[in-house]
Structure 1
């Protein structure tokens, strides 16, 4: 391999010093002039006094040069094709060193090569494709085919035989004379088409040309015809089609997350560019690291969150800004890299508004990057009935993710959890997610447990900066969504207000978000939207109900919005009134030693089952009525069933997660677990220990400090 000398940059010499020009004695002017030999131009220069000394070109100095020691004045040197060491000159016409000279070099043509890469006198690997009377046709790659004449064949050749041939002659018409060679010791050197690496953004100007690209495989799709590889480089996505046989996987050794080099022809397919693959290789070692680092650096820059101002003033959110930007960065990078997003949320008004805010931010980006129908492959939103990531939910998520990965060749998804994911009850599911190599981020306002952070890529929770559940998940997620995609601001800016009303937030931020949109969404309308969401969430169960939720939140541009919200609220209020008519007469109220009024209701026996409102919502509605009844007093409401209790409170300084931990330790065999916010939450236990659990819970509630209401 002939290469330019780096030490002298191909000049063949190095400059040692400068000295006075011996011809003009340093003047830069010619010492004598032959007027008869001067051209008209030179005569004009002489008359103007601008003639120059020919030896120093008018500088008055000349360089003192020495032959470059590295290349010995040649300006170039040879490298051994086998070991890469520098050599003085080819050995017997072969660019190898003496140590390697005894080992033959046999070249393997990459599928990107054509006859332009062939050199007479070199050895090549070939495969017998057809045997005829006058010789054997051999393939040196998928593009180069030659004939071994029968006069040169000594041993019988059969179709499929792998042989080594020497290129004896290459004629102008492309025909070649190949001679079989028997080589005992050899080393294979791969030959590739020497063309520059191109970026995805350049391909539109290279239609019909052969290109070489490098990037990370993010998806492998097997069609009824070719195998489609979606490759990401630092500037975008490249669709590469490789064909083996109809419906047969091409390059089965190539899978997602691999760094590859692809050579192929750029073609226009409908409205998209596609590289028709000639060659695809998995890069390893330093080259792999270099390409991956280059791509990661570019994508990190693209994924940087927008510098947005919050819609309202909030010291808590300002303190949370770094964590919020981190969540936004992880989500945005996953979208840019065409990694599927699984958005999990609690099935209530707060969880829905939180999830929908992020949904509206990322869907346009997903479609822009992956195509109009990509939402079905790269995004899924799923509600969770429990206020934590249940094993039933995570099992379904992992199962579906693995099936999609197998069916569509996708990466495993990034799980985005909103209005859920901060408690120790989430940890078993998080361990399951970690085992399968999936990443997870959380935006939540439930009281956090320190154990969850080691399973998360990023975590936003107001409790981390001294805040509480009053800053809702809907508020936080809307601001994260604006960091991801500021263009959605006008579309989603009412969602935090719906969230605040739905979660009964009394934080200063709640009032500010409500006032922000009061011109178009008065408080009463916000309350109706929140109730409609809760009502619809009950009937949707595990379905996202995307179009219906968009209509309720006035995000679809449909004229149905007002009529739908009114209809759902009418039905919800009728069912709530019917439920309360049955429940309220069966509530037992007691004044505790601390002055709080404790109300208990057996929702298993004194409430309608399997209908709206569910036990948690029923307990909340009962609590609201009793707060009005006992105006000015601290109120605690407990709705219980065979193996659970739902707690609602006003004016008491409870810490429900702490109570749950204490009950778990104190009542051996009760299986107590649960959690939620500090003053709103739920508890689960084994049915046989209900009496003991509820009695001990009442004791703890009676001992808490109360506030002035």
Structure 2
């Protein structure tokens, strides 16, 4: 008969039934059959596969943590071979295969205790080791169970005497008394800045700042605390899975005393006492935070990546937008980037990502912070509609309620700048999410009321005819983080399908990207943007745009130019589709305007690359003649329009509605020239739009 290492209850073995999942085991057996399903084990990462991670639980016992068991994308794991990780054994199959489950507790301190399991059974850490054998003849000491709280160990003082009272209630009383005793800092520790904690490992210090998130794990409560110099995790333990300091919430200004520790190369603070501040104390902390934030967030100036009048016209707007983005990072506010699933959109989104991620890494001690505080979410359409906004609001409210995160800053690039997006932007506003919009074209002045910052050369009365959104946002990214300026110089040129300004082409050449390479990058990004368009493809886009397109193979050797390989696939697929479309174009003339009309339902593969918009762009480039040439693609219930002369799409839709009043004609995609209608009136709509365009251009 032994006692439970958690609560001291008399039990056969070392852990009672109610605390089986509060203990992590080190497995020293030699066969998978010795594992116990449901238990948590420490293991080491053996390697990755497309379907998950292999984890060694012993030298000859390996299990699979399938990607479906993860609470995040497999690509977002930063585990390296040899890293210690914590997993749950879900099942041991008859053939010896081991199915592993994800553990939200990824450090030993998150468990309440640790044991060794070998072929002989369970025992305390140290028992059965050679060091323990050497003291075998020494007198036995009275047995006292050891419990790990956070990252420390303590001896449980609860008596296991037969005449003692119920141990579990005693444990609860003890937890409550510890909480009450530690509810407010009483010792006189030196207040230090979070930015200096890496030099203070092992010291007990006092920090003051704002709680930016509060997450309840299976063990301690983990508070992220921000001061004027950085952010750090502080673990506070009352009882496994029980919220410590429930009065402290996101946004609270606090004073915290604790020991600085280094866990898996990350600085953490083991909380000894924590209290919310009020009055003059709170005002002093808030003042320090505000002063530091003002000084850090706003760029001193904006220096364009190349000479461009349209960019120079919006330097103040770029400065305002960069300040909001930097402020979000320093306030530990998540940043959500919405961009179109096009080459231009991906260039814009990737530019911001390249600028923001280093700032997040510098600000947060957690190695995976960039996946918590930055997310890029492509849009299939160039409109931020209620569907996308509802998705974003749902996720941000879940993150707030489940993980204690602040509401995000939503940055929309190349989308969200027209009145068709106002309902989606207003939904974000209702919940208090910040909104920054940057767009090189198709901007409506009315949208300013639905944004916190709007970057638009159009509203600055500048000629933006030679400016892409990718070029505009690359300049914004340079303003956000000047340290990555050299990484961004080639991006503006990549964002243009034709007629890229010479200044951007020269900048790309100076950065090592000639015109052929720039074209290959653009085509490769466009192809990858199409597949699973709702995914950010962070690692792949990084390999394409920022690693010179050269990717190492599994042996660490050069596997060839990634951009050239993907670009070749782009060209083969696009040329084949264009050839088919050209053979089936309907050529016509109206009011002196030449038209090329394609039935995209009948003569394209609608659910394969290229997407209709990209195909129409390429057809228009190849077929156009003279100053007034129009290409139209008509599908079941939508129409795409391309023109060599400026066309007011909303006016075309209005005029077409008069010609076909029962067709439900609506201009829905101003940037992409898209009109929607009722499929039953398809032929009538085609004739109405051709007539309306001809009338406008005549």
- For the superposition of Structure 1 and Structure 2, which TM-score range results when normalised by the shorter chain? 0.5 to 0.7
Aligned partners of 1:194, 1:332: CA distance in 2, in Å? 35
Q: Does 1:496 align with 2:489?
A: no
Aligned partners of 1:410, 1:230: CA distance in 2, in Å? 10
Match of 1:580 among 574, 578, 581: 578
Q: Does 1:464 align with 2:459?
A: yes
Map 1:482-493; keep pairs closer than 5 Å. Answer: 482-493=478-489
Match of 2:665 among 659, 669, 672: 672
Secondary structure of 2:454's match?
Answer: strand
Q: How many residues align?
A: 517
Deviation at 1:528, TM superposition (A): 2.2
1:525 aligned partner: 517
Secondary structure of 1:344's match?
Answer: strand
Match of 1:647 among 638, 641, 648: 641
Aligned partners of 1:144, 1:622: CA distance in 2, in Å? 73
Secondary structure of 1:618's match?
Answer: helix
Match of 1:419 among 404, 414, 421: 414
Asked if the contact 1:547/1:556 (under 8 Å) is kept, the reply is no
1:8 aligned partner: none
Asked if the contact 1:657/1:676 (under 8 Å) is kept, the reply is no
2:677 aligned partner: 685
Query: TM-score, normalised on structure 2?
Result: 0.68
- CA pair 535-238 structure 1, distance change in 2 beyond 3 A: closer
Deviation at 1:494, TM superposition (A): 0.5
1:390 aligned partner: 385
Deviation at 1:637, TM superposition (A): 0.5
Q: Does 1:602 align with 2:599?
A: yes
Asked if the contact 2:205/2:260 (under 8 Å) is kept, the reply is yes
1:591 aligned partner: 589
Deviation at 1:290, TM superposition (A): 4.7
Match of 2:235 among 241, 247, 261: 241
Structure 2: unaligned runs, 5 residues or longer: 1-164, 167-172, 552-557
Match of 2:345 among 342, 346, 351: 351
Deviations 1:556-591 (A, max 9, x none): 673479633233232222222322232223212222
Q: Does 1:475 align with 2:471?
A: yes
Secondary structure of 1:465's match?
Answer: coil
Deviation at 1:237, TM superposition (A): 1.9
- CA pair 222-637 structure 1, distance change in 2 beyond 3 A: same
Asked if the contact 1:474/1:496 (under 8 Å) is kept, the reply is yes
Map 1:111-130; keep pairs closer than 5 Å. Answer: none
Asked if the contact 2:197/2:267 (under 8 Å) is kept, the reply is yes
Asked if the contact 1:389/1:420 (under 8 Å) is kept, the reply is yes
- CA pair 664-463 structure 1, distance change in 2 beyond 3 A: farther
Query: TM-score, normalised on structure 1?
Result: 0.67
Aligned partners of 2:417, 2:175: CA distance in 1, in Å? 61
Asked if the contact 1:446/1:676 (under 8 Å) is kept, the reply is no
- CA pair 440-233 structure 1, distance change in 2 beyond 3 A: same
Between 1:234-243 and 1:653-662, the stretch displaced more is 653-662
Deviation at 1:384, TM superposition (A): 0.8
- CA pair 269-303 structure 1, distance change in 2 beyond 3 A: same
Deviation at 1:437, TM superposition (A): 2.4
Aligned partners of 2:200, 2:525: CA distance in 1, in Å? 51
Deviations 1:436-489 (A, max 9, x none): 322121111231122322222211122112233531111111111111111212
- What RMSD in Å do the two structures reach over aligned CA positions? 3.1
1:122 aligned partner: none
- CA pair 521-138 structure 1, distance change in 2 beyond 3 A: closer
2:620 aligned partner: 623
Aligned partners of 2:331, 2:599: CA distance in 1, in Å? 51
Asked if the contact 2:194/2:232 (under 8 Å) is kept, the reply is yes
Aligned partners of 2:662, 2:283: CA distance in 1, in Å? 54
Aligned partners of 1:422, 1:226: CA distance in 2, in Å? 44
- CA pair 235-554 structure 1, distance change in 2 beyond 3 A: closer
Deviation at 1:432, TM superposition (A): 2.2
Q: Does 1:341 align with 2:335?
A: yes
Deviations 1:531-557 (A, max 9, x none): 221111112321122222223324367
Asked if the contact 1:388/1:426 (under 8 Å) is kept, the reply is yes
Q: Does 1:323 align with 2:321?
A: no
* Structure (1 or 2) with the larger CA radius of gyration: 1
Asked if the contact 1:447/1:657 (under 8 Å) is kept, the reply is no
Secondary structure of 1:604's match?
Answer: helix
Map 1:117-156; keep pairs closer than 5 Å. Answer: 142=178
2:360 aligned partner: 366
Secondary structure of 2:376's match?
Answer: strand
Asked if the contact 1:656/1:675 (under 8 Å) is kept, the reply is no
Deviation at 1:322, TM superposition (A): 0.6
Secondary structure of 1:462's match?
Answer: coil
Secondary structure of 2:501's match?
Answer: helix
Aligned partners of 1:562, 1:647: CA distance in 2, in Å? 39
Structure 1: unaligned runs, 5 residues or longer: 1-128, 131-136, 146-189
- CA pair 682-285 structure 1, distance change in 2 beyond 3 A: farther
